[in-house]
């Protein structure tokens, strides 16, 4: 019997590069994602328009190539948890753009894990599935990512962002304002984390923290830690971003939960967060900076780069009755500056991974 599974991509509203140091994040699942249709088989045999078909051992013991690396790594992680070696035959399709910083790799890991567990009759808790996907990312391509991307693909709540404490894994939904949508604009600069910059930023941060979780640090605590570790200027900047970003997450959540939502505060905090990623964490690009400026100039409530950086997309909060107008204005102005016609789409916060 053919079964169908879906895992969404995500945008991170605020809390960037905090999830591997025990910090706070506020992502939302989106309406685009990766779908897998398949049935139990002896091996993992999947077709996709994203690349050549894959044919792998059901327990992930054979390394894959291309997109198959992620599937093989997920199968391997699930085998370590005790999943029986039941294969999967089917098709993978996606309307989630690759390289746009919307967590297409995490969505693939989650949908593959969900399907493999289902056909094997192997129940797994949602966060355990997310953690298996996180480990698979490291196994597949050597990216020491945090838990955020896989977690929001599993935990997404329609109409809500999800506040996640990455130290404790406590999570709770945060309502997004009615009458508004999320506008995502792709800079056209392909986002890829395999080149080493992501790992380098994590190592730089750990020079200041000693590898300790810093989610509860105040600004004063951070400065004391910098002095205690004799952190160099680069490491100090990385820690200052993370500590200030955790504070911004808390303030954005307060603003969204106030009645009515304090959208002016959200706009200021998104701007501060983007500037910190540009100046302290140094992961933005001129194209992302330009898109954020254009979003505010043309009427967005809030805007910032989203995702791991070094390319990818921005996310903006816009009034739904002006979304098309704002998107068109941003695209036109960006074309004039760069000769690139950026992809743009609106989305609501969506439900997490599930069998359809």
Closest by CA to 323, choosing from 187, 188, 180, is: 180
Strands (E) in the chain, as ranges, are 3-14, 24-41, 44-48, 51-56, 87-94, 160-165, 171-175, 180-186, 302-306, 313-319, 344-347, 354-355
Kindly state the DSSP code that residue 47 receives in the 8-state scheme: E
Kindly report whether the peptide bond that precedes residue 151 is cis, defined as omega within 30 degrees of 0.
no
Catalytic option among 149, 165, 186, 262 = 149
Closest by CA to 31, choosing from 129, 102, 90, 114, is: 102
Closest by CA to 149, choosing from 211, 183, 213, 105, is: 105
* Cα gap 37→35, rounded to integer Å: 7
Strand partners, 127: none
| Strands lying side by side in the sheet with 344-347 | 302-306, 313-319, 180-186, 344-347
Hey, what are 120's tokens?
A: 């094997």
Q: Are 304 and 270 in contact (CB under 8 A)?
A: yes
260: left (phi over 0), alpha (psi -120 to 50) or beta: beta
Strand partners, 344: 185
Could you give the 3-state DSSP secondary structure of residue 138?
helix
First-to-last C-alpha distance (Å) of the chain: 13
Active-site residue, 55 included:
no
Which residues are catalytic, by number?
Answer: 149
């Amino acid at each position: 019997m053919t079964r169908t599974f879906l895992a969404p991509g995500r945008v991170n509203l605020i809390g960037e590069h905090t999830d591997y140091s025990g910090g706070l994040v506020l992502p939302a699942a989106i309406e685009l994602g990766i779908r897998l249709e398949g049935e139990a088989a002896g091996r993992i045999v999947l077709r996709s328009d994203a690349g050549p078909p894959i044919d792998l051992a059901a327990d992930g013991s054979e390394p894959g190539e291309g997109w198959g690396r992620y599937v093989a790594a997920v199968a391997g992680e699930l085998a370590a948890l005790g999943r029986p070696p039941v294969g999967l035959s089917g098709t993978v399709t996606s309307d989630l753009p690759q390289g746009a910083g919307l967590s297409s790799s995490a969505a693939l890991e989650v949908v593959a894990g969900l399907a493999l567990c289902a056909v094997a009759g192997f129940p797994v808790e949602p966060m355990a599935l997310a953690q298996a996907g996180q480990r698979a990312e490291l196994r597949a391509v050597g990216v020491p990512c945090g838990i955020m991307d896989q977690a929001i693909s599993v935990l997404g709540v329609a109409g809500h962002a999800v506040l996640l404490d990455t130290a404790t894994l406590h999570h709770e939904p945060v309502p997004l304002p009615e009458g508004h949508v999320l506008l995502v604009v792709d800079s056209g600069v392909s986002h890829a984390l395999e080149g080493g910059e992501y790992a380098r930023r994590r190592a730089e941060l750990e020079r200041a923290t000693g590898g300790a979780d810093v989610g509860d640090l105040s600004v004063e605590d951070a400065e004391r830690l910098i002095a205690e570790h004799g952190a160099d200027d680069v490491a100090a900047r990385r820690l200052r971003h993370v500590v200030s970003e955790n504070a911004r997450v808390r303030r954005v959540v307060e603003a969204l939960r106030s009645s009515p939502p304090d959208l002016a505060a959200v706009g200021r905090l998104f701007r501060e967060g983007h500037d910190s990623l540009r100046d302290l964490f140094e992961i933005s690009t001129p194209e992302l900076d330009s898109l954020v400026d254009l979003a505010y100039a043309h009427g967005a409530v809030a805007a910032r780069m989203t995702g791991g950086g070094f390319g990818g997309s921005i996310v903006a909060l816009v009034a739904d009755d002006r979304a098309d107008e704002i998107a068109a204005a941003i695209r036109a102005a960006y074309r004039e500056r760069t000769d690139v016609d950026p992809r743009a789409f609106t989305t609501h916060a969506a439900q997490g991974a599930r069998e359809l």
